[in-house]
Structure 1
């Protein structure tokens, strides 16, 4: 995100329209829009009609309900594809997050599944799904993230082996791992991935290559990444260079 510090500083100083930022920084409006999207994903700005405003201090980590509203069409398309990877007799782990909540909504229509989750969003989506055997891990609730963490959550996950786990992403550096807001979340994501035979990362493309936080979760083995077609050429090249990664880039959505 360092390459966008001048743009972020300009937004903080009150230059908040795309066109004005483009003139000030002598870059194209499309570059400004891409930069604002990445800054929004990092929790530093909030997009507005025609521009962006800075996020108030202390609000760097967006709530999971806020995240659901960001890039929702792409996340729903990713969820549609991800749900198609699940067989009716699978044991599934769903990480906390906005995209995994959309996956849970798709799985709620199925039967014969067992789902384990540490997320409030997936839990709410599946609470009335009579065809799904739902287990919610215990633990301490991180309200902003909608995530159950701590020793109780770890104790459940250490005792299961699921067929597939879907893990949400704050930032992904192919070859290094998942960028996380704190070591606790990082450790839990590592455990989620170790607790399943197949790991699938689900994220909109703005988070591929992003690293808004200072902590990392290592990806323990081969994984599949499902993302959208807006992924940058640099990010796609980095994924192709990671021998552990099987990337699924969904085609652009067409207007009805």
Structure 2
């Protein structure tokens, strides 16, 4: 089955797997494989039982992003949250995976979270044991992220123990891919203002570069991803001397990740 036929059908409003299979005269398993390929290419967003087309702007909303690979993102978030110790100051980037990290941190006490994201802020709204600081700045409504000069001014006056950043794409030895220069500037500043930088990115993001903007990674960092990572992407991460890569396998305890091969 040609992927363009499948994409055209989704764009035309046929969005359930069973309906797509009937319309295209193929099996549901063929449709699911095709939708997975289209999602990796950034053409569709998988939903429960089907898919929807990516908006014409090419930039997904936070709600759409949270539905993509959500099980893998939650496993990544569980592992990441376990890196936080009592007394830590934590920087949380705006994003779907970082919001799942915030959900885990909401159960903790004795930590401070500084965020520029509405998702993490909402997840922590009733966390009585967490001191929550919002950076302030200009709201990018589609992403639920706060950016701009005020945001950078607040971050520039903070030293955090750990920063968790999401990514639209991650290219080893290049940086974190972003849909706007403003987002790239905030992410890069977060990377520079933390003693430990952790990039939480599901496997579809490793090696992806859908946008022209980059947040440069200043030095040593950890990348937490899932077991769906392709072999070539594994090797690229492992070859970056500044990177400590961690793969959290499906069904595996977050505290016992599977390390990437050398």
TM-score w.r.t. structure 2 length? 0.83
Identify the residue that residue 258 of structure 2 maps to in structure 1. Answer: none
Is 1:46 equivalent to 2:82 in the alignment? no
Q: Which runs of 5+ in 1 are unaligned?
A: 1-5
Q: How many angstroms does 1:175 deviate by?
A: 1.2
Q: Distance in 1 between matches of 2:196 and 2:23?
A: 46
Q: What residue number does 1:119 align with?
A: 117
TM-superposed deviation, 1:55: 3.0
Matches within 5 A, 1:116-195: 116-195=114-193
SS in 2 for 1:57: coil
Distance across 2 between alignment mates of 1:18 and 1:227: 31
Output the CA distance in 2 between the equivalents of 1:132 and 1:75: 22
Distance in structure 1 (CA, Å) of the matches to 2:108 and 2:142:
29
CA contact (8 A) 1:226 1:249 kept: yes
RMSD in angstroms over aligned alpha carbons?
2.4
Which 10-residue stretch deviates more, 216-225 or 28-37? 28-37
- Residues of 1 paired with 2:52 and 2:135: CA distance? 37
1:1-256 alignment, distance < 5 Å = 7=3, 9-14=4-9, 17=20, 32-39=34-41, 42=42, 44-47=43-46, 52=51, 54-58=53-57, 60-253=58-251
Aligned residues: 240
Inter-partner Cα distance in structure 2 for 1:13 and 1:131: 49
In 2, Cα distance between equivalents of 1:131 and 1:48: 34
* Cα separation, 2, equivalents of 1:182 and 1:172: 15
Separation of aligned partners in 2, 1:94 and 1:146: 13
What SS class does the counterpart of residue 93 from structure 1 fall into?
Answer: strand
Counterpart contact for 2:184–2:214, Cα < 8 Å: yes
CA distance in 2, matches of 1:38, 1:65: 18
Unmatched runs of 5 consecutive residues or more in structure 2: 15-19, 253-262
> Using the alignment, how far apart are the partners of 1:47 and 1:127 within structure 2?
28
Structure 1, residues 176-226: CA drift from partner, whole Å, max 9, x if none?
A: 111110111111110010010000000111111111111111101111001
Is the 8 Å Cα contact of residues 135 and 151 (structure 2) preserved in structure 1? yes
